[in-house]
Amino acid sequence: MRVRINFACAFVLVLLGAAYLGLGSTQIPQVNDKVLHFLTFFLLTTAFYWILDTTRRRVLNFTLLVVTFGLGLGSEALQGLLPNGRQFDPLDIAANVVGSLLALGLCTLYHKRMLDRRRRAKGYSTVPQDGEGQDLELGGQETGTVEEDARESSPNGEGRLTPSSGAEEGIEGSK
């Protein structure tokens, strides 16, 4: 698992800016507070999602746990506990969660497409399309397998007839 430094730095910068503005006693100009919560958590989630280079499911779960629930709920609870003149607002939590979930959905969609493009570039896909390819579980991918013709198999269906098996002579003699 590799850490992407650029995204980690971006996450820390956005987090520090959000903490300074959200938990400090400074007053923000008259902008809709919910829009700021939405945008902040959209940016935090986007930056955090791309920090770790690991499987898509692991990144999704970790981001959901840390940013959406941990920071989204925790920041508002902390804001209500600190004596900074700000109040706990459940609608702020809703804006945090919605912004985070939207970013998470977009990042996941892009990540999936990116992985599919890489797979196609390497020459293999996840699922064959409309009859292309063979069923790998049945051994069709192996070299050296020969498709059996119905006229080449023995009458009782036990496999191919060979000249050395003697069964071929019995079939020819009965004609």
Tell me the pLDDT band of 1, cut-offs 50, 70 and 90: confident
- Select the more confidently predicted residue: 173 or 11: 11
Is 75 inside a domain boundary?
Answer: yes
129 in a structural domain: no
DSSP codes of every residue in 39-50: HHHHHHHHHHHT
Q: Residue 2 burial (CB < 10 Å; 0-12/13-18/19+)? A: exposed
pLDDT exceeds cutoff 90 at 142: no
Domain assignment present for 14: yes
Tell me the C-alpha distance between 124 and 67, whole Å.
34
Cα–Cα separations (whole angstroms), residue 99 to 13, 44, 45, 107, 132: 18, 9, 8, 12, 41
Return the higher-pLDDT residue of 110 and 30.
110
Residue 135 lies in a domain: no
Domain assignment of residue 136, yes or no = no
Amino acid making up residue 74: G
What domain range is 16 assigned to?
A: 2-122
The yes-or-no verdict on residue 127 having pLDDT over 70 is: no
pLDDT at residue 126 is higher than 90: no
Has residue 147 been placed in a domain?
no
Count the neighbouring beta carbons within 10 Å of the beta carbon of residue 135. Answer: 9
Q: What is the pLDDT of residues 18-53, one digit of tens each?
A: 888 877 766 666 678 889 999 999 999 999 999 998
Domain count, the chain: 1
Is the pTM above the cut of 0.85? no
Mean pLDDT of the chain: 78
Domain annotation covers residue 107: yes
Tokens of 41: 């958590």
Residue 157 in this model has a pLDDT that exceeds 60: no
Residue 11 lies in a domain: yes
Arithmetic mean of pLDDT, 101-118: 94
Tokens standing for residue 58: 């692991």
Residues 41, 72: contact at Cβ < 8 Å?
yes
